[in-house]
């Protein structure tokens, strides 16, 4: 196992899958800059949802989902859905416990999609 890594279960639900090493970069990514909606999209990416599935779940357009994903990639300095999924899996508790969007100063438009 690489130095500075920890082990997680790939599906976060139980021991039936082999644990995987957590990349150091995934623990260092600053998710605090993400808006409430971007956090929702990131968690959906962690569930390997398609843009269409994310749009349906959040009641937004696929174009809006794409824009949120672009913003997530930029803010987190990542370049793939796979990297986003890793961040979502590793940082899920932190992402889910984030302050509400109004506490972060998000606009109602951001919440609406």
- Tell me what the mean pLDDT of segment 9-14 comes to: 52
Q: Report how far residue 29's alpha carbon sits from residue 55's, in angstroms, rounded to the nearest whole number.
A: 25
Domain range annotation of the chain: 7-101
Closest CA to 100 of 33, 32, 36, 31: 36
**CATH numeric code, 7-101:** 1.10.10.10
- Tell me what the mean pLDDT of segment 4-19 comes to: 54
> pLDDT confidence of 108, banded at 50, 70, 90?
very low
106 vs 82, more confident: 82
Residues 31-73: pLDDT tens digits? 999 999 999 999 999 999 999 999 999 999 999 999 999 999 9
pTM for this one?
0.71
Task: Give residue for tokens 């279960």.
Answer: 9
């Amino acid at each position: 196992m690489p130095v500075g890594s920890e082990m997680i279960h790939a599906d976060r639900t139980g021991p039936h899958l082999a644990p995987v090493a957590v990349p150091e970069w995934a623990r260092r990514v600053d998710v605090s800059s993400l808006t409430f909606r971007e956090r929702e999209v990131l968690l959906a990416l962690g569930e390997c949802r398609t843009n269409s599935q994310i749009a349906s779940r959040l009641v937004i357009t696929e174009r809006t989902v794409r824009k949120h994903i672009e913003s997530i990639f930029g803010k987190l300095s990542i370049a793939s859905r796979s990297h986003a999924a890793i961040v979502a899996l590793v940082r899920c508790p932190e992402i889910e416990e984030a302050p509400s969007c109004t506490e972060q100063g998000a606009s109602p438009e951001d919440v609406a999609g």
